[in-house]
């Protein structure tokens, strides 16, 4: 009986984890995965609907399933100088996640308090709104403010070329427009704790997912302000400490390592060939002890681009370790050529 029960639980969990991507064919998809009949899967679907974990919509022919919210809440706060992010967490959000594992609660506490603090202290907005959606499998929280917009503010105060450049600098970490009061670590670490982390402002969107993929996208212009969306599995084994340990060192947990997504330096289909493009990637890298350049989805680089990073900068800052990852064979050869004989 225990074996049958665990098998059923495994099937139902698979359904919940995959129904977003397969709302209309989840029965067939699950049946193929487990090698059982569609009729057997339908019983599991009915069980999940009865348990209020799934919602069945449409007629029999057009039937599709969606995750049903266990929690769905909205909170609006005035940014009048009195709002405190720890109070919001303690009073409004923590009770909604109280039954989740401790490591999951800790990640949510870090992400929500850091992002809300950004809205409080940096947005120049008049209100912030939190949207909480929690299903049986994961949770999503969106934070919206009506301020200047994070990318525009960074571009203006840091005198950067454009909002895309602001996204690149945020992805590196240690970026703040108020260095006396902030370290610029919140967005960097939050983006690496969650399964999915997304910021939208003006016409620019930054997207980081657990598989390490980073994107900059142009989107239809949003109303004034910033939108941050974070998603996390309710059963993740990841811990905040693990994420900090991966990028910090020493007794004081100094933020010493960064991963630089190289493709964020590209505009459209342009090639990464010039020293100026490399210098954009290298801005503020001297603040770290280890810099890892991630070449995922970068097909090729030019000689001058590689030389600026892997020879010129390395010689100027010999105490900084420059590494690379996810480079294809062509990119590796250009890097090795720039470094020269060892």
Unique residue bearing structure tokens 């009986």: 1
What average pLDDT score do residues 17-42 get?
A: 92
Describe the crossing of helices 38-50 and 26-34 by its angle, rounded to 10 degrees: 120
- Average pLDDT, whole number, for the chain? 88
How far from 316 is each of 293, 305, 337, 339, CA to CA, in Å? Answer: 17, 16, 18, 13
Distance from C-alpha of 260 to C-alpha of 251, rounded to nearest angstrom: 25
The predicted pLDDT at position 1 comes to 37
* Closest to 339 measured CA to CA, from 328, 52, 30, 318: 318
Report the distance separating Cα 182 and Cα 118, nearest Å. 10
Query: Residue 313's pLDDT band (boundaries 50, 70, 90)?
Result: very high
Predicted local distance difference test score (pLDDT) of residue 2: 41
Distance CA 32, CA 41 (A): 10
Q: At residue 258, what are phi and psi to the nearest 5 degrees? A: -135, 155
Q: Does the pLDDT of residue 177 top 80, yes or no?
A: no
So what's the pLDDT on residue 216?
Answer: 66
Residues with Cβ within 8 Å of 9's Cβ and at least 6 positions away in sequence, in order, are: none
DSSP lists the bridge partners of residue 22 as: none
Q: Which residues contact 36 (CB under 8 A, 6 or more apart)?
A: 11
Residues 2-67, CATH architecture: Orthogonal Bundle (1.10)
- Taking alpha carbons only, the member of 280, 16, 73 closest to residue 166 is 280
Q: What's residue 301's pLDDT?
A: 94
Break the chain into its structural domains and give their ranges.
2-67, 71-241, 256-339
CATH of 71-241, one of 3.40.1190.20, 3.40.50.300, 3.30.450.40, 3.30.565.10: 3.30.565.10
- 2-67 against 71-241: fold identical: no
d(CA 337, CA 307): 8
Say if residue 3's pLDDT is above 60.
no
- Give the H or E element holding residue 143: strand 138-145
C-alpha to C-alpha distances, 24 to 46, 57, 64, 314, nearest whole angstrom: 15, 10, 4, 53
Taking residue 72's Cβ as centre, other Cβ atoms within 10 Å add up to 12
Strand order in the sheet with 321-325: 257-261, 290-294, 321-325
pLDDT category of residue 158 using cuts at 50, 70 and 90: confident
Q: Is the pLDDT of residue 215 over 80?
A: no
In degrees and rounded to multiples of 5, residue 99 shows phi and psi of -90, 0
Percent of the chain with pLDDT over 70: 91
- For residue range 86-97, what is the model confidence (pLDDT) as tens digits? 999 999 999 999
Query: How many angstroms separate the CA atoms of 14 and 12, rounded?
Result: 5
Give residue 324's pLDDT band: very low, low, confident or very high (50, 70, 90).
Answer: very high
By residue count, the chain amounts to 342
**pLDDT band, residue 254 (cuts 50/70/90):** low
Q: Say what the pLDDT of residue 61 is.
A: 77
> pTM score, two decimals?
0.80
- Going by pLDDT thresholds of 50, 70 and 90, the confidence category of residue 166 is confident
CA–CA gap between residue 334 and residue 340 (Å, rounded): 10
C-alpha dist (Å) from residue 125 to 84, 86, 149, 311: 15, 19, 9, 44
Amino acid 180: pLDDT: 58
């Amino acid at each position: 009986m225990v074996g049958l029960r665990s098998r059923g639980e495994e099937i139902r969990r698979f359904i919940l984890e995959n129904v977003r991507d397969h709302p209309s064919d989840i029965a067939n998809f699950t049946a193929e995965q487990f090698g059982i009949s569609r009729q057997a899967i339908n019983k599991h679907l009915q069980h999940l609907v009865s348990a209020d974990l799934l919602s069945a919509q449409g007629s029999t022919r057009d039937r599709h399933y969606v995750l049903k919210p266990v929690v769905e809440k909205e909170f609006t706060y005035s940014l009048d100088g009195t709002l405190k992010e720890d109070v919001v967490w303690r009073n409004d959000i923590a009770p909604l996640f109280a039954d989740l594992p401790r490591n999951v609660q800790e990640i949510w506490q870090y992400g929500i308090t850091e992002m809300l603090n950004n809205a409080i202290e940096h947005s120049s907005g008049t209100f912030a709104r939190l949207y909480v959606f929690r299903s049986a499998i994961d949770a999503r929280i969106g934070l919206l403010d009506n301020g200047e917009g994070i990318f525009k503010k960074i571009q203006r105060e840091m005198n950067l070329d454009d909002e895309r450049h602001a996204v690149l600098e945020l992805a590196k970490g240690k970026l703040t427009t108020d260095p006396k009061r902030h370290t610029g670590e919140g967005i960097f670490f939050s983006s690496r704790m969650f399964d999915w982390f997304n910021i939208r402002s003006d016409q620019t969107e930054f997207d980081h997912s657990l598989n390490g993929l980073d994107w900059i996208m142009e989107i239809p212009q949003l109303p004034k302000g910033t939108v941050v969306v974070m998603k996390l599995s309710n059963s993740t084994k990841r811990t905040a400490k693990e994420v900090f340990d991966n990028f910090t060192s020493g007794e004081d947990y100094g933020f010493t390592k960064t991963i630089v997504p190289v493709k964020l330096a590209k505009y459209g289909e342009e090639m990464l060939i010039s020293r100026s493009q490399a210098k954009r990637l290298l801005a503020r890298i001297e603040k770290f002890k280890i810099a890892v350049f991630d070449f995922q989805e970068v097909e090729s680089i030019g000689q001058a681009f590689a030389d600026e990073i892997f020879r010129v900068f390395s010689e100027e800052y010999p105490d900084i370790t420059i590494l690379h990852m996810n480079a294809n064979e062509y990119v590796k050869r250009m890097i090795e050529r720039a470094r020269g004989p060892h």
